[in-house]
Structure 1
Amino acid sequence: MAMIEPVVDIAFDCLPLRSISRLDAPLDAPPEFRRRHELLAAAMERFGPARTYFLYNARCVFRLANSEIEGMIRFEFDGIVRTDASDLLTEQVDLESKLASDTCGGIPPEVEDWLKNRVEQAVAIEFDRFIAAGQLTERSSDLGQDVSLSTLAGFSGMNV
């Protein structure tokens, strides 16, 4: 069976929650870092660290006209992906998506909501590909254990 070339462009950074040992945010952290910290803390409390992955610096681009310019809709998102007990298939996707840009001349709110649901479905499929390609195992090995959130975010505090 021939592999179908993806028609939706999805990119993300993946953080296994099991790799986080310290979840405290520095007092002088910028607002974006604080927001990410709050999302991670909520995810850790709601789901726990096992089989839970935080996706960030993420985008999903739909190209409705098969053009790099016309008919493009770009969403930015971050959120959680949970896998099944085998850690080999996506079981749940919970994202915060926002429309970042479009070249469609505007998108009605109902269509935007529908597309946000498509983002979650597309991310579930892409995350399964990420797992199958061995990238999840590689990312988890690279991070190891006992990592602080500040280290992962590259934030060392003021004047450091």
Structure 2
Amino acid sequence: MTIEPPPSVVDVEFDCVPLRSIKRLDIPLDASDVQRRRAARMQAAIGSYGVERTYFLQNARCVFRFANSDVEGVCRFEFEGVARTDAGDRKCEEVNLDVTLVSETCGGVPVAVQQWLIERVRHAVAIEFDRFLAAGQPAAPSPDASEKTPATALGGLGGLDV
């Protein structure tokens, strides 16, 4: 009889944009309100942290499973913000995230518990970001302007589909 390992009780997903890959800071005139708000948050991150060793995490979620169920005992958070690394770009040193509880099937989450879980989200994201870095260094922007990556395809924040 083979026993499968239990699924992870914490599931973290995010899209990562190295801020050093952003070539322009202007927001396209035809950007939606959602794109404008995200671009403004990226601009603020660049203003606060700079572009070196700084990554913008977006389209992100963290799910905690407190029971042996995909339905019961689940808290789902969404987050967006910045991860900063050490000088070698190998380890997460700081995360600054806006975290929101978007759903739960626990029968109610007291405010104090929700705040504690939000801190656990930040901790889990830092750990997952270390795994992300260990899996392969995020690519530096190409020196050849003719080589377009998804992050630089349109030359700035608008090119990030923000």
1:7 aligns with 2:15: no
Tell me the SS of whatever aligns to 1:42. Answer: helix
Distance 2:121 2:61 in 1: 9
Structure 2 length normalisation: TM-score? Answer: 0.85
Residues 42-61 of structure 1: pairs in structure 2 closer than 5 A: 42-61=44-63
State the partner residue of 1:158. Answer: none
Which has more helix, going by share of residues?
Answer: 1
State the partner residue of 1:96. Answer: 98
1:137 aligns with 2:138: yes
Q: Which of 148, 152, 156 is matched with 1:148 structurally? A: 156
State the partner residue of 1:66. Answer: 68
Q: Which deviates the most, 101-110 or 118-127?
A: 101-110
Tell me the SS of whatever aligns to 1:88. Answer: coil
User: Which consecutive residues of structure 2, in runs of 5 or more, have no partner in the other structure?
Assistant: 1-5, 143-148
Tell me the SS of whatever aligns to 1:126. Answer: helix
Structure 1 stretches of 4+ with a deviation exceeding 4 A read 138-146
- By how many angstroms is 1:106 displaced? 1.4
Distance 2:60 2:10 in 1: 13
Residue 101 and residue 140 in structure 1: after superposition, are their counterparts in 2 closer, same or farther (change >3 A)?
farther
Percent of pairs with identical residues: 54
State the partner residue of 1:157. Answer: none
User: Which consecutive residues of structure 1, in runs of 5 or more, have no partner in the other structure?
Assistant: 155-160
- By how many angstroms is 1:80 displaced? 0.1
- By how many angstroms is 1:45 displaced? 0.4
1:120 aligns with 2:122: yes
CA RMSD of superposed structures (Å): 2.3
Deviations 1:3-60 (A, max 9, x none): x964210000000000001111123322211111111011000000000000000000
Distance 1:140 1:129 in 2: 21
